Amino acid sequence: MPAQFDQDLLTLVSDVARHMATYGDRLAKANGITLTQLIILARLAREPDLSQCELATIAEVSPISIARLIDRLEALGLVERRADPSDRRMWRLRLTSKAAPLQKELNRVCSTLHDAATKGIEPSVLSAMTRGLRQMKENVIRCRAANGSS
């Protein structure tokens, strides 16, 4: 493949991700939170009692970044930190009852983002794009692991 195509593809993937995050933040702000915070809440709804370190690894951000996100969510009354019963140095994260209604909001934001991003794209093309992007993600993860980078 010509180098120009590869550069265009990588630029487009980056641009789409950035634009979707910006638009998602705008949609989520109606509830006073960011798209990233909504996604963290969704992750904790699916996997309660993750540690901050586990959540940082999953989200591929630094532990201090997760700590700051959790600080904000805790201040909003959406997340609580609980001491790990087997390790006093570790916090386990759990949603509060106040976070439950935001699941509907996350679904609404995701649906709006999906509809905006995929308008006019045939389902078969979307399916092929999804397969390709998943493969790209696996390839990059494998390369990072092989090179010892996080």
Q: What would the DSSP string read from start to end of 17-35?
A: HHHHHHHHHHHHGGGTS-H
Q: Specify the residue for token string 């509830």.
A: 31
pLDDT value, residue 144:
83
Residue 38: both structure tokens together: 């909504």
pTM (2 decimals)? 0.71
pLDDT value, residue 108:
86
10-residue averages of pLDDT along the chain (150 residues): 66 91 88 84 91 88 91 94 88 92 83 93 96 92 80
pLDDT value, residue 102:
82
**41 and 35 in contact (C-beta within 8 Å)?**
no
Between the CA atoms of 127, 36, 109 and 75, what dihedral angle is there, to the nearest 10 degrees?
A: 160
pLDDT value, residue 10:
87
Which amino acid is residue 10, in one-letter code? L
Give the domains, in start order, of the chain with CATH numbers: 3-119 (1.10.10.10)
